[in-house]
Amino acid sequence: MERKKKEVTIYDIAAQLNVSAATVSRALRDDPAVSAPTKKKIFELAEAHGYQANLFARNLRQQQTRTIGVIVPRLNSYFMATVISGIEHLANEAGYNLLISQSSELPEQENAIVKTMFNNRVDGLLVSLAYPTADLQHFKRFSQKHIPVIFFDRTLENNIFTNIRIDNQQAGYDATRHLLELGRRRILHVSVSHTHNIYRDRFNGYAQALQEFHIPLDRNYLYLDDLSLEAGARAARHALELPERPDGIFVANDNCAAGCMMALKKAGIRIPEDIALVGFNDDPVCQIVEPNLTSIHYPAYEMGKMAAHHLFRQLAADEALRTTKVVGLRAELVVRGSSG
């Protein structure tokens, strides 16, 4: 078995060029104190020997890793990919790397990732929680070390960390009111367990709009599932089995709404004539399904940038500025063919 080749160090380069290791270190950092000819020789020799700087060791000496941890429920989500793009934009500008992982909607996996991120000494953490996560105990190790954590989109109420989300109650109200203004009176709301305040708030907005139109809240018109494409099909079956079929459906995300629409159309339901549909997020699927899906536009890229901005602000701030707050973003209803 071939032995692994020994890594070249700054001491090896220094010995070959008859300069000090400190000079090599400064040259590789492009320090202007080192003359251009010496710097050129050092760079050429380092490249010829395949020298790799030990950035991890250097960062530990400086008590930072220039790495931000990002935890999301799923990576195969257009919304989350767009949020990450916004985060990455600011991280690149600030000279930080991202360490990205997904919880796959499993609290135990989220817990393990948080521990790994902590042990890898990330300088800060940006998190959108898994559906079933009910408390933030596993993040306390970060607060104990005064490492900033920002929660975005899916958050839990707390008095330690910063939360960034839209006004979900207003958005749920706008979506439901739109259907009511179209004359729809039996509106099914498809959502997920209300453990997370964002879905509870969307439901509260739905209930608020019904109340304003003097329509009693009927629990038969609330369907809870996991908001997947398949859950949309199950929601459609539920709608068709109700004694009085809904004439409007407000779904808490677009992927699920698309699954619901396809199943309804397969069952012979006309959209929007028989049932009008409104989704949430304004994902690209809205303009792929036919008719195009009315949805709440959720500013994902701006959310990513805002989350990163607040994290870097806290990293640069003294302890007094690390206070919890909820930062809101504006969401708007985009009307398309699914609601007429």
Give the pTM: 0.78
Q: What is the CATH number of domain 65-165+300-329?
A: 3.40.50.2300
pLDDT of res. 258: 98
Written as six digits, the tokens of 139 are: 């993040």
Average pLDDT over residues 209-226: 96
For the stretch 218-254, pLDDT in tens is: 999 999 998 999 999 999 999 999 999 999 999 999 9
Ranges of each domain in the chain: 10-53, 65-165+300-329, 168-299+333-339
Lowest mean pLDDT among 262-266, 296-300, 314-318: 314-318
pLDDT of res. 73: 94
Mean pLDDT of the chain: 90
pLDDT of res. 197: 79
pLDDT at residue 324 tops 80: no
Give domain 168-299+333-339's CATH superfamily: Response regulator (3.40.50.2300)
Phi-psi region of 204 (alpha: psi -120 to 50; beta: other; left: phi over 0): alpha
Q: How far apart, in whole angstroms, are the C-alpha atoms of residue 62 and residue 47?
A: 25
The answer to whether 10-53 and 168-299+333-339 have equal CATH topology is no
For the stretch 105-131, pLDDT in tens is: 999 999 999 999 998 889 999 999 998
pLDDT at residue 154 tops 50: yes
Domain 10-53 annotated CATH 1.10.260.40: yes
pLDDT of res. 12: 87
Q: How far apart, in whole angstroms, are the C-alpha atoms of residue 164 and residue 151?
A: 6
The single residue listed with the structure tokens 């459906």 is 249
pLDDT at residue 318 tops 60: no
pLDDT of res. 320: 44
Q: How far apart, in whole angstroms, are the C-alpha atoms of residue 33 and residue 22?
A: 11
Distances (CA, A) of 64 to 59, 215, 315: 5, 56, 11
Average pLDDT over residues 79-90: 96
For the stretch 85-103, pLDDT in tens is: 999 999 999 999 999 999 9
pLDDT of res. 327: 75
Between residues 51 and 222, the one the model is more confident about: 222
